[in-house]
Structure 1
Amino acid sequence: MRVAIMTAGSRGDVAPFTGLGHALARAGHEVTLVTHGCFESLAERAGLRFRPLPLDPRAELESARGRALHRSATGVGKMVRLVSMARDLAGRMTDDVVAAARAADVLLLSAPMVPLGHTVAEGLSLPSVGLHLQPLAPTREFVPPMLGVGSWGAAGNRMAGLGMNLAVEQVYAATVPAVRARLGLPRAGSAAAVRARERQDWPVFHGFSPRVVARPRDWRTGLEVAGYWWPYDGDTRLPSRVREFIDSGPAPVFVGLGSATVPDPVRLSAEIVRGLRGAGLRGVIQRGWGGLEASGEDMLTVDEIPHSLLFPHMAAVVHHAGAGTTAAGLRAGVPAVPVPIQFDERFWATRLVSLGVAPRALPLRRLTADTLAAALTRATGDTGYGERARALGARIRAEDGVTPVVAAVGRLEDRGAAR
């Protein structure tokens, strides 16, 4: 069966689907990863076919418009800016999405691609399945992750979730009507599209552990929490210089902000180094898209290294609490100091604290050498954090989030053969 996995965004929005795609390929399917051209190497390493989408997400985040996201201090403010930015870019992907879909038998859609991808699937009479890395469906149990943390009350939480879903639809509001007309579909507004998927119990699998976010009790049928999907990591050994650094002294601390950009990487890097040294810890600093840098015998700056290889050797991990990096730290079974910057990161940071594997969330705006040193001293000095992290990591490593998705695709193939 020809399977197209469609996703858009930063590396964290792409990498989990390489492992899932690899498993689908091993099950006998022809799998194509459809995403931004800068991630082609990720698909190649996983043995997947690749079809590029236009846009360079890093260039967009580093543009004046992308850096303006940092001027919003609230989740709602950042989402308003992001939706406006994404609307201007969405139309440039349409032709490539339609072309990729024409060469597929089933579409697997990450959350950012659902409004466009589901429309295309409907127009081409293709089955489709959602693959979400965050719990985005409305629920009374918590505020949508992209808006922050806490509770607005049961009714308020659910209304916020409905509003969040409509905001994602609005990204494609100027694009979808033309696609519907092009594919011979009747007109339908954004709200109608959301309601149609709900009436159909459109299937969505969620790629996170139920031990981290339990399936909300009020979710509709068709929404399932599968478990984590791990990036396909072809490397089996750490680079020699990294291995030598780790072996040269006490376990270091990883610090990285992934695909997040920061207003002043030089100042932030200096605060991080002072914070590590203030806690008496060595550091492995990942440059990432933010351009962090550190030097000295007790510091090592690295580029991309699979977290699955690096994190188990760390005393703790300091990260932006993106969904993928949060998952990698949990899998490794090491304590965390989350430094949320934007979007769903505050949600995952709060989860880490509630699970007892992080002493506190340290938002980027509050990060100083002193606050980082204090948080790291607790994370590495209080043995409870390490014990809880190791226990949870063992349970998460025993989960299998891939099999439910592979089985669902297999059922779609059987139905197609029966028809």
Structure 2
Amino acid sequence: MCKVCRASKIATFPLLIQEIFPANGRIDVNLDSNIAKTLAKIIDLQQEDIHNPPPQYLFNFKQSISCDLKLSIVIQIVGSRGDVQPFIALGNALQKHGHRVRIATHDVFAEFVRNSGLEFYPIGGDPAELMAYMVKNPGLIPQMKTLREGEVQRKQAMVAKMLDGCWRSCIEDDPLTNEPFVADAIIANPPSFAHVHCAQALSIPVHLMFTMPWSSTKAFPHPLANMTTSSMDPRTANWVTYGVVEWLTWQGLGDVINKWRISIDLEPIPATVSPSLPEALKVPHTYCWSPALVPKPKDWPAHIDVCGFFFRDPPSYSPPSELTEFLQAGPPPVYIGFGSIVVENPQKLIDTVVIAVVRSGVRAIISKGWSGLVGAPNPNIHYIEDCPHEWLFQHVAAVVHHGGAGTTACGLKNGKPTAIVPFFGDQPFWGNMISRAGAGPSPIPYASLNFQRLTAAIQFCLTPQAREAAYEISLKMHNEAGVEAAVDSFHRNLPMDKMRCALVPNRVASWRYKKHNMSLSLSRPAAQVLIEHQKIDESHLAVHHVNPILIENRRWDPISGMLSAATTTGSSMLHSTADMIYNPYKEYKSGRSPRPSTGALDAVSFNADALSSEPSSTSIPITEGAFPGPCSSDPSSSQGKNGLLVASSMLGATMKGFGKFTGSYFKGVVVDIPHAAAEGFRQVPRIYGEKPKEYGPIQDWKSGAIFGGRNFVDGMTDGFTGMFTQPVNGAKEEGALGAVKGFAKGTIGLVTKVPSAGIGLVAYPFQGITKSIEATLRSRTRKAIVNARLRSGCHESENLHLSVERQGEILRSFDTLLASSAI
């Protein structure tokens, strides 16, 4: 299926998606759909009523966590300058704890990041283009005009480039200094999308931080969702919106992400698992907004924190004389600016703003922003370029903006009433939160903005009630320390015991040394010292898996499990069939196209697939003399050779497609479908509260054989004995009724555990064998990680200037541990 058709398919779910409004970039979710009702059945309805006033403000400073480990941290960010700025403050705070911090974001922010004293790595992507796309389209669903113009393909190509850039930011040297870098931990905002996958490839901790809610809750809906009127309980409806938004996001990006995962030697993620992946893996989250505005929901677990807004240290700023004179010439003005928003008709927007300012009878400072807003000269209006909000908002009476989290935070911290004109994304959410708190009017969606509404919003901000509400929020925010609380949250969720080097405890272990009975976790410098002194051999070093991430395609019953596996197998076979037809034709067309005879260039074969980092397997290097050149005396002979090359390319493409088809068939029939059946049968007892026994993850042939053997023994034993033990236990607990229930449980156990045992005896070992083969074939990324860690270890040991005494301590500690292991 082509990308345009796939994107169009997203908009064909009338039962779920009722209507799309491009003006505010949100999704109207039909809560009366069958899908939404099915999701709702699993929700516990006993929750606090969201229609009550916000809970009493409470901000608990948890005890500061001491972290003596010195980490190399990469912070991956996709978004505008307002998205990057909070992480600048976080990065500087992490540096004070001795960590090395690299910000990985769009190229245009290189100077902004480096001027803050942080390392920078470019991941590609154009934030201005992303912002313009988001304004023109809903956050997830493109308009037909966008599809026709090919913007979806361009955005997918951009996402593919950013995914690859995020991965390289974890293991590649600094672009300026060439200093080696290997990430020990990842911090990211959710829209960077690469975070969990990079962490899985490196087996390191990952922590998500964001300015908008991204974790399912019953307290409020997903910021990107508009809920339609429904009979569904509002608390349940809120929770449902998170699953819907995540599912739709995966529909648009799933193919791109899975293709990139394959390029870094990770398995594709099944569609049933991927949308809620961070939540299922219990990835720690820290939300950087003030609990004075949005308290932490009671249904969020302990690994999710709300810490307060991130504020950087106020930059040194000297205002232009024109700005100073304007501020001194009259009463405090109103600030109006829309930051990184790029609109299609900036003239219409600035005309609306100017009329509203005149009608309100106020003075105004208007930020030109990325849309370049400039209107007719007016003595009561001053237009500015970039200006630090931390300084400017101290001198204004109120602020009007697009609702970016950073601008919202700065306005409230300075106690300024706020009017929000949301364009897309989470901006309506922040507008509603401010309105609920009384610190501003209801948000005015950009599509419905006119000078009358903007005039009323400005006048509301100047009322005593709005000023008092904003001032109260400001007082509470001044007692918060968002950045410090976020650092503590990050430290608190680190698996420090698994991260420590056995010889240098304040250094992170990157290697696992195994020889005979000895197994040690070693930091990069410690391993380097031991290698240099010939205490260990590199062949006994393996990558230390600090935080292994296992993504399982959980099966809930044999029928749906087998259907899902069969569907996946059929889809793979269909794609392979298409490859057998299309790829030979592509090779034929490529061979028929005229090619320049430029000597050395004729020997180069290019891969036309811009989204893949793999070399083209169907490209055939063109040898010298393949095309007639200046010195060729026999054009017909050259054309004959070219025809043979094209024919061989077409045959190779056909055979490759046939190989994929055959491999997909046998893997599905021999491995995937039997494994889905065995796992489905094994999971059925969950319906009556019995948790299946766990035997650890299947990672290779050995663990697969152990899993299959134990499951066979336990399945057979429990399946038959359960027919007797379940009724007896039930009778003891509930009498005759319990005996009946126990008999039913025993019967279900017999008809599910025994088949799981029989099928699994073959399916689980074959699953392990498959993983062993795949691990052998997919070794490129593993080698890249090993090389990066070796380079980094050599560099660190040189820069640490380990004294002879310190090296001696490492060597003596190693000898002591070696002697104790021998005993």
TM-score by length of 1: 0.90
In the alignment, which of 258, 261, 273 is matched to residue 177 of structure 1?
A: 258
> Partners in 1 of 2:116 and 2:252 — Cα distance?
30
Contact map agreement 1:227 1:401 (CA 8 A) in 2: yes
> Partners in 2 of 1:365 and 1:67 — Cα distance?
10
1:303 to 2:385 alignment:
yes
Quote how far apart the aligned CAs of 1:105 are: 1.1
Structure showing greater Rg: 2
Contact map agreement 2:140 2:249 (CA 8 A) in 1: no
Written as runs of structure 1 = structure 2, the 5 A alignment for 1:261-410 is 261-294=342-375, 295-380=377-462, 382-410=463-491
> Partners in 2 of 1:308 and 1:246 — Cα distance?
16
Quote how far apart the aligned CAs of 1:349 are: 0.6
Quote how far apart the aligned CAs of 1:177 are: 2.4
Alpha-carbon RMSD: 2.4
Contact map agreement 2:131 2:340 (CA 8 A) in 1: no
> Partners in 1 of 2:323 and 2:228 — Cα distance?
39
For 1:145, give the aligned amino acid: P
Quote how far apart the aligned CAs of 1:78 are: 4.2
In structure 2, the CA distance between the partners of 1:263 and 1:182, relative to structure 1 (3 Å rule), is closer
Contact map agreement 1:116 1:172 (CA 8 A) in 2: no
1:234 to 2:315 alignment:
yes
In structure 2, the CA distance between the partners of 1:171 and 1:24, relative to structure 1 (3 Å rule), is farther
Contact map agreement 1:124 1:183 (CA 8 A) in 2: no
> Partners in 2 of 1:66 and 1:339 — Cα distance?
15
Quote how far apart the aligned CAs of 1:200 are: 3.6
1:81 to 2:163 alignment:
no
Q: Which moved more, 1:391-400 or 1:196-205?
A: 196-205
Deviations 1:285-333 (A, max 9, x none): 0011222113222111111111111112111111111222111111111
> Partners in 2 of 1:134 and 1:87 — Cα distance?
23
> Partners in 2 of 1:104 and 1:174 — Cα distance?
26
Deviations 1:41-77 (A, max 9, x none): 2212321110011121213444xx56632xxxxxxx4
> Partners in 1 of 2:422 and 2:276 — Cα distance?
32
In the alignment, which of 194, 206, 228 is matched to residue 116 of structure 1?
A: 194
Contact map agreement 2:305 2:489 (CA 8 A) in 1: no
> Partners in 1 of 2:258 and 2:342 — Cα distance?
33
In structure 2, the CA distance between the partners of 1:67 and 1:339, relative to structure 1 (3 Å rule), is closer
> Partners in 2 of 1:232 and 1:191 — Cα distance?
43
Contact map agreement 1:130 1:204 (CA 8 A) in 2: yes
Contact map agreement 2:289 2:306 (CA 8 A) in 1: yes
Q: Which residue of 1 aligns with 2:219?
A: 141
Deviations 1:349-398 (A, max 9, x none): 11111111113322223322232222222221x21111221121121122
> Partners in 2 of 1:196 and 1:67 — Cα distance?
27
Instruction: Specify the SS of the correspondent of 1:17.
Output: helix
Quote how far apart the aligned CAs of 1:141 are: 2.0
> Partners in 2 of 1:368 and 1:198 — Cα distance?
41
May I ask how many residue pairs the two structures share in their alignment? Answer: 408
> Partners in 2 of 1:197 and 1:371 — Cα distance?
40
Q: Which residue of 1 aligns with 2:670?
A: none
Higher RCO (C-alpha under 8 Å, 6+ residues apart): 1
Q: Which residue of 1 aligns with 2:795?
A: none
Deviations 1:92-123 (A, max 9, x none): 1233211111221111010102x422111111
Q: Which residue of 1 aligns with 2:327?
A: 246
Instruction: Specify the SS of the correspondent of 2:485.
Output: helix
Contact map agreement 2:317 2:388 (CA 8 A) in 1: no
> Partners in 2 of 1:18 and 1:99 — Cα distance?
20
TM-score by length of 2: 0.47
> Partners in 1 of 2:420 and 2:227 — Cα distance?
14
Q: Which residue of 1 aligns with 2:136?
A: 68
List alignment gaps of at least 5 residues for structure 1.
70-76
In structure 2, the CA distance between the partners of 1:408 and 1:351, relative to structure 1 (3 Å rule), is closer
Quote how far apart the aligned CAs of 1:233 are: 4.2
Identity between Structure 1 and Structure 2 (%):
28
